[in-house]
Structure 1
Amino acid sequence: MTTRIELEAMKFYAYHGVMPQERKVGNNFVVNLILTAPLDKAVMSDELEDTINYAAVYAVVKEQMEKPSKLIEHAAGRILQALKGHFPQLTAIELKLAKLNPPFGGDVYSASIILSETYC
């Protein structure tokens, strides 16, 4: 059985951006995750220790979002690596990090990076 956990629209105010002003003033960001792991035991046991704790996942993402980066690619990569480090049972991660209203002079809702990684 393949089990996927999806956490949608985790919202953060963070300080990522190439321009110094972006790292000073900040902006709104949204993180979406799909985590894949063998969670057959949780399906049967109904016990928290047999799954991936969503609150713990959120805490890892929040910790990484609090560290300013010039590029959202870098911030997303840090989140991916931190999640894999905290949850070694993960077999795949798909992460989307969106910067809302990017400051480049156009009417754009968001600019996003999507990272996917599969582990053996």
Structure 2
Amino acid sequence: MGVIEVTNIKVYAYHGCLVEEGKIGSDYRVDLKVEADLSKSAQTDSLKDTVDYVLLNQIVKEEMAIRSKLLEEVADRILNRILKESSLVQEASVWVSKINPPIGGNVEKVTIKMSKKREL
């Protein structure tokens, strides 16, 4: 088993419960960790035998572009797509962070983390 991490994917999106968040938007950071059997790709040196991190980045950007009230809903969509589109991934974790959230205080970011395993 191996691990691939894609960290600090920066996107501008329009998530949140406030109407203003849907109009103004804000900065987000997304981090991914996927676990997969990387032994074959280590031997073949072939992209088709591994988890393509270009695909992972694309999934994040596409799902972050769909407005949601809660970051949990966005994270769940990201995880579902990763497991659907990359059959090698056995488990995935995602951290979605809203930078400078509008919560009435000096807060750098709010982060939610979710994980999913492939059902056997």
TM-score (norm: length of structure 2): 0.95
Structure 2 residue aligned with 1:18:
17
Q: Do structure 1's residue 4 and structure 2's residue 26 form an aligned pair?
A: no
Structure 2 residue aligned with 1:109:
108
Shift in Å, 1:52: 1.1
Shift in Å, 1:89: 1.8
Structure 1 runs of 4+ aligned residues shifted over 4 Å read none
Shift in Å, 1:56: 1.1
TM-score (norm: length of structure 1): 0.95
Q: Using the alignment, how far apart are the partners of 2:11 and 2:75 within structure 1?
A: 13
Identical residues among aligned pairs (%): 35
Q: Using the alignment, how far apart are the partners of 2:52 and 2:115 within structure 1?
A: 21
Structure 2 residue aligned with 1:30:
29
Shift in Å, 1:88: 2.0
After superposition, the CA RMSD in angstroms is 0.9
Shift in Å, 1:118: 2.1
Name the amino acid aligned to 1:104. I
Q: Do structure 1's residue 97 and structure 2's residue 96 form an aligned pair?
A: yes
- Unaligned 5+ runs, structure 1: none
